[in-house]
Amino acid sequence: MPLSESEELKLHPLFKAVFAQVSERINQIVTDENNHRFYTALLAGGNTMASSVVSACEGVKKAWAGGDEAKALALTKLFTLLMLSQCYRWLDAKGSNQQKSTKALQSAVSNVLHLFGDDSEEAIKDFFNIDIQFKYDLEYRSHMIHLGSLLLAKASEACGHRSIDWSKVSFPVKSMEPLTRSGAIIDSVTIGNPNDIKALWYCHAAGVQAMVNYHEEQARS
């Protein structure tokens, strides 16, 4: 099922094309109805957030530079994975079985990456690093500034602009100061703009709403 008309109107044409492309892969690969609804809802959320970020966050907008389908695909993959992490943070909050939850998450991560044509171990490692940071910030940094900065770096990187040397980063990041001292931060302007961090979380909220709306609409149909 496509996005609703109101949601489609908000999307940049490149992101509409990416949604259609990945949706078709879901149609081809995922046969279980519940899984189909789940993965397409993740995609709807990630695609919505990606389309929002390139207009709302100045650093990412600069790296986007008008965009192309490769950038739109990379951004949608990044934020679709963030939607997956969000879902499992909700499960954690409900007190789900940690061992079963972790095993299910590992499977879901591989499945999402496969939908985007990425079966690399490095991509799985990248996801779990961000997931570790998500859990840490929720518990100790409710303002979510550290995760916001790292996501801005990942988003600009998806657009071809490198802001962080990830080989010098240990997760969870508890302070940005060690990253500065180690030389991990390549472009502090892109990742350190407080307005961009705030805008990113507004975009995240829009993505989560799109994900929830899609899942509920499909469950009713």
- Going from the first residue of the chain to its last (221 residues), give the mean pLDDT of each consecutive group of 10, the final group possibly shorter: 48 92 97 95 97 96 95 98 94 67 89 97 97 94 92 97 96 94 93 95 97 87 69
DSSP secondary structure of the chain: -PPPHHHHHHS-HHHHHHHHHHHHHHHHH--SHHHHHHHHHHHHHHHHHHHHHHHH-HHHHHHHTT--HHHHHHHHHHHHHHHHHHHHHHHHHTT--HHHHHHHHHHHHHHHHHHTT---HHHHHHHHHHHHHHHHHHHH-TT-HHHHHHHHHHHHHHTT---B-GGG--SS---SHHHHHHT-BS-HHHHH-HHHHHHHHHHHHHHHHHHHHHHHHHHH-
Q: What is the pLDDT of residue 9?
A: 43
Length of the chain in terms of residues written = 221
Q: What is the pLDDT of residue 90?
A: 85
Q: What is the pLDDT of residue 98?
A: 61
Q: What is the pLDDT of residue 4?
A: 47
Q: What is the pLDDT of residue 114?
A: 97
Q: What is the pLDDT of residue 182?
A: 94
Q: What is the pLDDT of residue 101?
A: 72
Q: What is the pLDDT of residue 143?
A: 86
pTM here?
0.92
